[in-house]
């Protein structure tokens, strides 16, 4: 039995509901139900009474929970002992949704610490749900995510209930990323989503739930997951190289450093889109970030603040109709 299954069991017992526990754990309700059933089969006893209103512990379940708490507490003590016995090391452990601006900040921290004798820095690029799960399970101490601005209230409520602290970074309008020599740029400063239907869409593997793949504008709703022409890639360089040498496109935000000079790929405002992308940092409320992790979060805040200001300046230069659209409530 995996240790995290004990944590899942404890969360269900605390909430009296598999559905509520699944939301807090950021996993699906059917998956959590299957895990609880596996635990019961391995234990050889029924641990929960199940009703339409939720679930409650059986006498065997109460006994199992007592042992579960002891095991998890001892494991935490063992981890603390193990950490204290190791030589002091600078560590940075990050999970992020795929956006170049976050990766730039991580690379900057790596360059700054490159001459230190002892450090361990790790970054994982994954879908939003995986990033949240990594932080909750302690696989990563810091998570950098993005989601649709209309989901802000619901997301922050979920983070609070899950014991996660959320630090807002910035709010961006989505842009279309395409080659500087793309035919659509010959006569247009702005591009309507409908004009992209005939072109191939380049996207990352996974992340089907991502807002930027389901775009709604004033005149059109387009699920890019259903595009007739899709190219799936696994990394940023592959995506940029392909777009620079073809008429393919993707959806992103303001340009990252050297995007144009290195790849000849530009970011053009998406005409008529009245939704934004909210970026933010998450970490456990009770966690103690390392010095390098605090440094990384501070750098993110500064970097995204600069990007936000840069986009604000660009908005001033855009056509009046586009600026009016941005002033509408999101």
Q: Find all residues with CB under 8 Å of 168, minimum gap 6, and list them.
A: 278, 279, 280
Cα–Cα distance, 260 to 158 (Å, whole number): 38
**pLDDT value of position 322:** 44
Superfamily per CATH, domain 90-172+277-315:
Periplasmic binding protein-like II (3.40.190.10)
CATH 3.40.190 fits 175-275, yes or no: yes
Among 204, 285, 188, residue whose Cα is nearest residue 243 = 204
CATH architecture of 3-85: Orthogonal Bundle (1.10)
| C-alpha distances out from residue 219 to 59, 187, 215, 229, 273, Å | 58, 21, 11, 22, 9
Among 223, 316, 329, 239, residue whose Cα is nearest residue 276 = 329
Question: 221-231: string of b/e by CB count within 10 Å (b at 16+)?
Answer: ebebeebeeeb
- Provide the token pair at 88: 């002091």
Cα–Cα distance, 328 to 322 (Å, whole number): 11
Mean pLDDT per block of 10 residues along the chain (330 residues) reads 85 89 79 90 91 90 91 82 64 88 90 88 88 90 88 86 89 84 76 79 70 57 75 84 90 68 78 78 86 92 88 65 41
User: What is the domain partition of the chain in residue ranges?
Assistant: 3-85, 90-172+277-315, 175-275
**pLDDT value of position 311:** 76
**pLDDT value of position 193:** 72
Catalogue the long-range contacts made by 297-305 (C-beta closer than 8 Å, 24 or more residues apart). Answer: 297/142, 297/167, 299/105, 299/108, 299/109, 300/102, 300/105, 300/144, 300/169, 301/167, 301/169, 303/101, 303/104, 303/105, 304/101, 304/169, 304/170, 304/279, 305/169, 305/170
Helix-helix angle 152-161:18-25, to 10 degrees? 100
- H/E stretch holding 11 reads helix 3-15
| 90-172+277-315 and 175-275, same CATH topology | yes
């Amino acid at each position: 039995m995996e240790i995290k299954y004990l944590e899942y069991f404890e969360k269900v017992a605390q909430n009296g509901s598999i559905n509520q526990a699944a939301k807090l754990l950021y996993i699906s309700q059917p998956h959590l139900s299957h895990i609880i059933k596996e635990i019961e089969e391995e234990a050889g006893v029924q641990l929960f009474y199940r009703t339409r209103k939720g679930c409650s512990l059986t006498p065997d379940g109460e006994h199992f929970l007592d042992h579960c708490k002891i095991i998890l507490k001892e494991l935490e003590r063992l981890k603390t002992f193990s950490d204290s016995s190791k030589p002091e090391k600078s560590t940075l452990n990050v999970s992020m949704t795929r956006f170049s601006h976050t990766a730039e900040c991580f690379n900057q921290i790596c360059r700054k610490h490159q001459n230190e004798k002892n450090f361990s820095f790790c970054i994982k690029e994954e879908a939003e749900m995986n990033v949240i799960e990594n932080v909750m399970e302690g696989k990563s101490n810091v998570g950098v995510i993005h989601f649709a601005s209309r989901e802000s209230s619901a997301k922050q409520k979920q983070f609070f209930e899950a014991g996660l602290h959320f630090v807002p970074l910035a709010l961006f309008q989505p842009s279309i990323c395409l080659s500087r020599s793309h035919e659509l740029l010959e006569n247009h400063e702005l591009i309507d989503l409908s004009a992209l239907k005939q072109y191939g869409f380049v996207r990352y593997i996974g992340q089907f739930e991502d807002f930027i793949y389901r775009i709604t504008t004033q005149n059109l709703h387009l699920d890019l997951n259903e595009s007739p022409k899709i190219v799936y890639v696994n990394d940023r360089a592959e995506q940029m190289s392909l777009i620079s040498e073809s008429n393919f496109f993707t959806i992103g935000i303001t340009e990252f450093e050297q995007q144009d000079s290195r790849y000849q790929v530009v970011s053009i405002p998406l005409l008529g889109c009245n939704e934004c992308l909210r970026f933010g940092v998450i970490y456990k409320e009770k966690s103690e970030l390392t010095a390098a992790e605090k440094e990384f979060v501070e750098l993110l805040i500064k970097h995204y603040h600069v990007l936000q200001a840069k986009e604000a300046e660009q908005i001033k230069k855009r056509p009046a109709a586009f600026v009016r659209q941005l002033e509408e409530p999101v």
